[in-house]
Amino acid sequence: MKYLVDLGSDLELSLAELITVYPNLEIEVVGKNYVIAEAENWDYKEAIHRLAGTRRIGELIFEGKNFEEFSLSEKIDFNKVPNKINYSINNFNLNNENVKKFRKKVLKEIKNQGIKAFLKKPSHKKENILSPSDFYKKNVDIELNLIKSKKMCVFLTKCVFNHGMYEKRDKEMPVKRYSQAISIRLARIMINLSSAKKEETLLDPFCGVGTILTEAVLMGLKVIGTDISFDCVRDSRKNLEHITNKDRKKFNIIRSDAKAIAQTFYENKLNKVAAIVSEPYMGPLIKEPLTFKEIMEIKKKLELLYKEFFFSANKILKQYGRIVFITPVFIAQNKKKFHIDMYSIIKNIDLKIVNPLFGIIKNFEMPFYYKRPDHKIGREIWVLQKFK
Ligand SMILES: C[S@@+](CC[C@H](N)C(=O)[O-])C[C@H]1O[C@@H](n2cnc3c(N)ncnc32)[C@H](O)[C@@H]1O
């Protein structure tokens, strides 16, 4: 069976997440934010809950030279459809003429069944694809997705990512994330990229208020969080107690300098972990764009911190364990970008940079880049693995 996987705004990151969690999918990269995935049996309902980078999954219901032979009633049992419906047609890469014709044909077919149908369009006029929030707000009953690949394809939407769940969870946390902090969505993508399995242990050595840890617990992992700040240890403990109903078997929060993480594990008699996932300390809060000199000073300090951390962390990571780690990208007054030199940080440490998209996206090189318009710094996301 073929599926459309709509990956939203971060194609590379979301695609890497998809194939890390579902390595058996056969992927055809069609457009800049979606792929066609082929699998015999794919539990797409589980996938939409598990993945944070995927916006919608649709099942192929038609493939042909053109849409003339397409018939919706062959694919949908109209006896089960209410007599008033909202529907939408997403155009992924077709010209408008083709879409107009298709729309007319579908509307005629629905009307012939004695059903009143209302076409729901994206709130933003320039968009051709309904956003997940529009999909839920506009109560869409049937959604069709048009894609031109080798042939003309129609995919029927089966499930759509529900961001409301994340927002609700965020609101209910006893201690909230600060404004520039990592989003729940990115935290979950990073945990998925770590390949950690249920019941395994994940460490966040710069745990802050515990965004990554709470998400990991919800995904069935056990977690250890450490932070140098007493306040953060207290805050993430509160959040973890909330999310686990105070189940102490699921989490452990300790105060520690990340540079001495191996020593902390030794003193607390902790076992090696399967994965380390973290957004570390990334320098002082930036209000105004920095000068070259300021950036160089911060960058030097951070590179030293990360180097010492990786050296220590490598000792408490299991063989084949992964580290998924964010580093900042500083944007100077003249808009020039400055990156953390990961290659020299891990030069003498037994960690290798993994490229999850190797062989899938030509010429793609790690790391992933991630920046939201309201963020003052960019983020690079690295996937490292210990092979020895
Ligand atoms: C960007 S925040 C982490 C956000 C966190 N990953 C989350 O999911 O909410 C960085 C954290 O690093 C902590 N920190 C700074 N220097 C540290 C060090 N040397 N060792 C451990 N934690 C440190 C700070 O107290 C802060 O809580």
Instruction: Looking at the CA of residue 236, tell me the nearest atom of ligand 1.
Output: 9
Cβ atoms 260, 242 nearer than 8 A: no
| Residue 149, burial from CB neighbour count under 10 angstroms (0-12, 13-18, 19+) | middle
d(C-alpha 109, C-alpha 47), whole Å: 32
Residue recorded with tokens 């710094």? 377
Distance 85 CA to ligand 1 centre (A): 49
pLDDT at 323: 98
Q: Which residues fall within 8 angstroms of residue 99, CB to CB, at 6 or more apart?
A: 89, 91, 146
What is the residue with the minimal CA distance to atom 4 of ligand 1?
Answer: 208
Nearest CA to ligand 1 atom 27: 208
Instruction: Give me ligand 1 centre to Cα 10, in Å.
Output: 25
Helix (H, G, I), strand (E, B) or coil at 18: helix
Ligand 1 site residues (CB inside 6 A) read 177, 181-182, 187, 204-212, 227-229, 232, 257-259, 278-281
Residue 169 is encoded by which pair of tokens? 């969870």
What fold characterizes domain 168-385?
Rossmann fold (3.40.50)
Render the burial of 376-387: b for 16+ CB within 10 Å, e for the rest. Answer: ebbbbbbbbbbe
Output the CA 257–ligand 1 centroid distance in Å. Answer: 9
- 305 Cα nearest atom in ligand 1: 19
**How far is ligand 1, taken at its centre, from the CA of residue 106, in Å?**
54
Ligand 1 geometric centre to CA of 72 (Å): 53
Select from 203, 209, 217, 228 the residue to mutate for testing ligand 1; criterion: most ligand atoms less than 8 Å from CB: 228
Closest CA to 346 of 354, 337, 335: 354
Spell out the domain ranges in the chain.
2-162, 168-385
Residues in Cβ contact with 257 at an 8 Å cutoff, skipping those fewer than 6 apart? 228
Question: 281 CA distance to ligand 1 centroid (A)?
Answer: 5
Query: What distance in angstroms lies between residue 255's CA and the mean position of ligand 1's atoms?
Result: 11
Ligand 1 centre and the CA of 115: distance in Å? 56
pTM of the model: 0.96
Which of ligand 1's atoms lies nearest the C-alpha of 212? 8
| Per-residue confidence (pLDDT) for residue 181, from 0 to 100 | 77
d(CA 205, ligand 1 centre) in Å:
7
Fold observed for domain 2-162: VC0802-like (3.30.2130)
Residue owning the nearest CA to atom 8 of ligand 1: 211
Nearest CA to ligand 1 atom 3: 208
Q: Name the residue with the closest Cα to ligand 1, atom 2.
A: 208
**Is-same-fold flag (2-162; 168-385)?**
no
pLDDT at residue 165, rounded to an integer:
85
Consecutive sets of 10 residues in the chain, 388 residues long: mean pLDDT of each?
A: 94 97 95 93 96 97 94 89 94 92 93 93 92 96 96 97 88 85 93 97 97 97 98 97 97 98 98 98 92 96 98 98 98 94 96 96 95 90 95
Q: Which of 191, 223, 227 to mutate to test the pocket of ligand 1 (most atoms within 8 A of CB)?
A: 227
Q: Ligand 1: which of 194, 238, 257, 281 to mutate, judged by most atoms within 8 Å of the beta carbon?
A: 281
**Contact assessment for residue 369 and residue 379, using Cβ atoms and an 8 Å cutoff:** yes
- How far is Cα 317 from Cα 236, in angstroms, rounded to an integer? 22
Q: Residue 286 corresponds to which tokens in the numbers above?
A: 């930036």
Kindly report the protein residue whose alpha carbon is nearest to atom 17 of ligand 1: 228
Q: Which residues of 117-144 are buried (b: 16+ CB within 10 A; e: fewer)?
A: beebebeeeeebbbbbebbeebebbbbb
pLDDT score recorded for residue 163: 87
Total residue count of the chain as it appears in this document:
388
Structure-token pair, residue 381 = 């996301």
Question: How many angstroms is it from 219 CA to the middle of ligand 1?
Answer: 22
CA distances, 204 to each of 109, 249, 257 (Å): 54, 17, 12
DSSP category for residue 39: -
* Atom of ligand 1 minimally distant from the CA of 257: 20
pLDDT at 80: 86
Distance 229 CA to ligand 1 centre (A): 8
